[in-house]
Every structure is written in structure tokens, then in C-alpha cells.
Structure 1
Amino acid sequence: MAVRLFEGKDHAAVYLQYRVAPQKLINRIISYMEKKTPKQFNLAVDVGCGSGQGTIHLSPYFTKVVGTDISAAQLEMAQTNSSPPNVSYRQCPAEEQPFASGEVDLVTAMTAAHWFDRKRFLQEADRVLRPGGCLALLSYTMDMELEYGDVSSKLNDICKEFYTALLPFRNPYLGSSSLKIYSDMFDSCSYPDKEWNDCLRLSKTLPLSGYIGMVETFSSYQILKQKDPIEAERLSNDIRSKLLSAMQVSSPDTEVSVVIKYFYWLARKP
């Protein structure tokens, strides 16, 4: 694991509370797999599974689903979540999966692969995948948008203030663009059957407090919080107040549409 983050219990708890799972993307992964092998699959492995929001959505399609993560705190949160009986969790580095060679039908990483030792992870995914198995990597850009009545443009100007304030705290391992990380990983994958998708806009209705909570789970916010917790709290409160004012409401429980811009790639092992 190239970078170890999200391991504190408090961070793991808010991760479980606020992170969302992209069901529509799960459907696209399964559709891609079923083009060649239209049947129930045996084993899916969700690497860097965090608190398991995405892991559990794989359960209807596989006999067994295993979420793996380096963080004991994240896995503890995952196990407090209500999971189907065919879902379990294992603690291990992304680059050292506890599965036999050729045993796995699907290896996926949902908003996690940018933290891995990317070359070693791709080699390990190739080792554990069966011939015809699928590798699916997905993430999203930080610039989530809000939609609310006729003030969406104002809200997104305020959101940009939030993201700009956090930019100096971006982990240097990520470079300037997470999308470029995934694009480079896609280019380095030697499988001839692969596809790249650079923007899928998915909308989710959340209370405004849920949007703030999501941003607070980002590594850049957590770094700011560690360095200056008072400033981190001031920033969140300031953004929340500005958004409420623009919406002309007083309750942070007021619902908004949060637009998340996903990118992802899929590849089938020969």
C-alpha cells in the first residue's frame, strides 16, 4: 500500500456515514462481465473496500464477495453495517491479496486505487484473476455540484470556494489529477479487451449536511483537520452558512441534489 490513510476510528465512522456507493456503476460492471459469461459468478474482491458501501452491492451477482482493506478501523465499521451472508472482509494490503492465482472473477477498487502502489496492484490483480475475469477501477472528481431550485449556480460558486481552500492540503502522491492516475493505469493495462469512460454524472439526493459530511471525508479535509482543527471547523461552518443563505433556508437537513462525476475503466483478462 503506497499511502495509508482513513485509518482513524473517527474518520472511519464518518466514512461509513457519508460516503455513497454507485449502484449504477455496479450495474455497468456486471453488464460488461455478462457480455462474455452470462451467469452467476463465483468470487468478487473489492480492494480498498473501506466501510463496505460498494462491497455489499456486489452480493446479488456473486456466490462470495470479499472486501479487503489495510485499515482495521475501516473494516470494523464495515462489519457494523448490515451485510448479506455471502459478504465477508479481510485485512491486507492492496498489493498482497489472500487468494490463489486464477481464483477471482472480479477485482474492483472503488475510489481507492489512487492510493495503491499502482504497478504492484495491477500485477496482483492479474495474478488472482481467472482467464476472462474482470478488473474494474472507478473513482470521481472532487468537484461535486449541487442542484437546488434556481440557485444552483450560486451554490456551485460556493462549493468551488470549499474545494479551493482544500487544494493546498491535497496529498502529493495524488499529483494534480486523480483522473490522470486512472488514465495512466488504463494505458499500462495490457489486456486488449478494455474500455475507458471519463465522465458519468450521477445524482443523489442528500441533506445539505450530508454533502458537507462527504467533503469532510476527503483526505485533504482530514489533513487540514489534523493540522488545524479549529480552521477546519471554521471552513465547514462558513461554507454551510453561505450555502444555507443562498438557498434561503435555515436547516442543514434541507435536501439537495448532489451531482458526482465518476470516471471508470473496465478490462477483461485474456
Structure 2
Amino acid sequence: MTDKSGPQSAAPPSETTFRSFSREQGENYAQHRRNYHPRLYQMLLDYHKSNGGQLDTLLDVGCGPGTAVRTLAPQFAHAIGLDPSEGMLAVARSLGGATATSEPIRFEASTIEDASTTGLSPPLADGSVDLIISATAAHWFDMAVFWRHAARLLKPGGTVALWCSGGIVVDPAMANGPAIQAAIDGFELALDDYILPGNRLARTLYAGLQLPWTLDNPVPEFDRDSFVRREWGTAAGAEPIDEFYAGMDKPAPAGVLAMVLATTSPYVRWREAHPAEVDTDSDPLQVMKKKINALVEGQGADGGPLLVRGGVAAVLLMVKKKSE
């Protein structure tokens, strides 16, 4: 149970790329982004239920197309997903999902600070939420605002769980593994001008994410002794790199890897800035794909897809609100 918070980051600029997604972009995101591994969800639920965490109301902040809240909703009586992007929410609503009481998940255009006032109808009452999650989104939050409102909405003994992945890690034991890793790293380097502070915060696995007790104005409602940080693929004793996202225990076609990377916000911003260069030899995604295809050429069995083995470095942060 270590903080490992490192130097504290200033609040990142408000996220605008995903916020402005159309429904079509949201559908593409939902199609190509994997769900999280069952072990992550079980780890989270086990932690939450320890010391009396209840399973009445789940709140997902920055829910995107609803992947995480949809997976966890069957464990709760009520579930709400918040996101500022109407395009993402349109997809979330079309995919649906229900709770343990067969109640549909509520997907609302809101932020956590508006959830008890103008953002929801009816609004969330103070002390009404059992578990607050944010999957691959907290690096876009003003954490001083987030922690203050999370403390207000949570029941005593409730949980906040935040998680994200960093970079893709190719299995160095596979043929040409280090060279494939270099091609992926080169793709990210080519996008450096489009990587925002929030992206860098995720790539450092939230090492500088502001925690309730590291803020200029600390939020004392959270129990620092309950804080848990779990990592994937970072060092001996960490969780395996292929057990953060579901399905990464099997090699993935090289084309699928490229489709996942095409949904990242730096690449989306590059495409918007260079519309005439998309899908040309100047496109960083196409450059990477050509390099990887050459490196895995001939490895597909019986003319099957060219496969890449690996996973991601990732982190899960969990903390409880103090019990009264």
C-alpha cells in the first residue's frame, strides 16, 4: 500500500478530443478498444467489499461507450455512467446494459461536479454512491475537483477506483519482438506534438496523479492507509502484461493492433491536423503498419493473420472513504 505518487501534476487541460466525438467515432472506439480483464474487475470488487463496501449504487465518471460500467452493473442495484461526449453516450445507450435488479444503466451527459445539481435529473444525493470508478479517463480530470465531489457523493466506507494503461509492451521473446516494439515506439514519437499532459500522465501510470492527501487543499474524508496501487508489467511481482485487457493472453493480428492505436487521442488529433496525409506514406500509423508487417511476414500459419504477442503496462488505484 504505497502512494508512489511522485511529483504532482497540475490539472490537465480540459479534454476536447473525445468530448467532441461523433457517434461514428464513438462506435469505432467501442469496436476496437478491448474490455478489461476479469481479474481486474474481481480485484476491484474484492477490495470494495472489504470492510463493508456495499453494492447498491455504482457511478462511472468518464464512461465513454460504457464498457466498464456495463461489466460491473450486474453486481449493483443501480448504475450510472457520466460522460461529456454525446457521441460516446449515444453508443453507450445503444449498447445498453442492466443492473442486478434489471434496472437499465443510466447514461447521462454530465461531469462529477454537476452530478448532484444540473447534470442529472434526478440529481445524485450526497452520500448515495457506493463505488466510483473511472476507466482510462482520470488523467483528463481536475483532480482537486474530482476528489472533493467524490467525497461528497460517496457513502462512508465507499470506494474510488481509477485505472489506465500506459504503452503497449511487445513480448521480447517473439520473433523480431524488440524491432516490433521499436516500430510502435516510433509511432508514438511521431505524434509527440499531439501528446497532451493528460496523455503523459497516463503513460507514467499516474505517477504524478494528485491524490486526496497531496492536494494543496487536501480532502480529509479519504483514508490514506486504505490506498492501494496495483501495477501490470512494470517489475517483478507486478501483474502480467496480458491480464489488464481481456483477450491479450492470445496473440493479436497486427491489423487489430493498428486499429487500437488508431483510437488514441494523439493520433486522432494528428488526423484532424493533417487530413490530406491520412492513409499516405506520411501517416505515422501507416508507417508503423508497414514496418510491423515486414517484421512478421511469413509468421502467420497457413496464410492466416500476422500475429503479435504482448500486453500493456497499466495501473489500478483504489482508496476508501473513511467510515463514520
| Alpha-carbon offset, residue 182 of structure 1 | 5.5
Q: 1:123-162 residue pairs with structure 2 within 5 A?
A: 123-141=148-166, 143-147=167-171, 149-162=174-187
**2:312 is aligned with 1:260:** yes
| Equivalent residue letter for 1:223 | R
Match of 2:31?
A: 17
Match of 1:224?
A: 270
Equivalent pair of 2:165/2:315 in contact (CA under 8 Å)? yes
CA separation of 1:182 and 1:90: change in aligned 2, threshold 3 A = farther
CA separation of 1:177 and 1:91: change in aligned 2, threshold 3 A = closer
2:51 is paired with a residue of what secondary structure? Answer: coil
1:144 is paired with a residue of what secondary structure? Answer: strand
| Alpha-carbon offset, residue 181 of structure 1 | 4.7
CA separation of 1:47 and 1:253: change in aligned 2, threshold 3 A = farther
Identity %: 21
**2:205 is aligned with 1:197:** no
1:135 is paired with a residue of what secondary structure? Answer: strand
Query: So what's the TM-score if we normalise by structure 2?
Result: 0.75
| Alpha-carbon offset, residue 129 of structure 1 | 0.3
Instruction: Mark the runs of 5 or more structure 2 residues left unpaired by the alignment.
Output: 1-12, 116-122, 233-238, 243-247
Counterpart CA distance in 2 for 1:176 and 1:112 is: 13
Using the TM superposition, name which of 236-245 and 129-138 deviates more.
236-245
Bigger proportion of residues as helix: 1
User: CA offsets, 1:146-185, max 9 Å, x none?
Assistant: 34832222211111111111122112x4274333756432
| Equivalent residue letter for 2:268 | Q
CA separation of 1:245 and 1:177: change in aligned 2, threshold 3 A = same
User: CA offsets, 1:189-218, max 9 Å, x none?
Assistant: 642221123444432143322211111111
1:36 is paired with a residue of what secondary structure? Answer: helix
Query: So what's the TM-score if we normalise by structure 1?
Result: 0.89
| Alpha-carbon offset, residue 80 of structure 1 | 2.2
CA separation of 1:149 and 1:131: change in aligned 2, threshold 3 A = same
Match of 1:31?
A: 46
Match of 2:189?
A: 164
User: CA offsets, 1:114-148, max 9 Å, x none?
Assistant: 1112211111111110000000111111x202348
Match of 1:210?
A: 256
Instruction: Mark the runs of 5 or more structure 1 residues left unpaired by the alignment.
Output: none
2:170 is paired with a residue of what secondary structure? Answer: strand
| Larger-gyration structure (1/2) | 2
User: CA offsets, 1:199-241, max 9 Å, x none?
Assistant: 4443214332221111111111011010003434322222112
Match of 1:242?
A: 291
How many correspondences in the alignment? Answer: 267
**2:25 is aligned with 1:8:** no
Q: 1:169-180 residue pairs with structure 2 within 5 A?
A: 169-171=194-196, 173-174=197-198, 176-178=200-202, 179=204
Match of 1:95?
A: 113
Bigger proportion of residues as strand: 1
1:105 is paired with a residue of what secondary structure? Answer: strand
CA separation of 1:229 and 1:252: change in aligned 2, threshold 3 A = farther
Equivalent pair of 2:56/2:76 in contact (CA under 8 Å)? yes
Equivalent pair of 1:201/1:262 in contact (CA under 8 Å)? no
Counterpart CA distance in 1 for 2:160 and 2:199 is: 24
CA separation of 1:175 and 1:213: change in aligned 2, threshold 3 A = closer
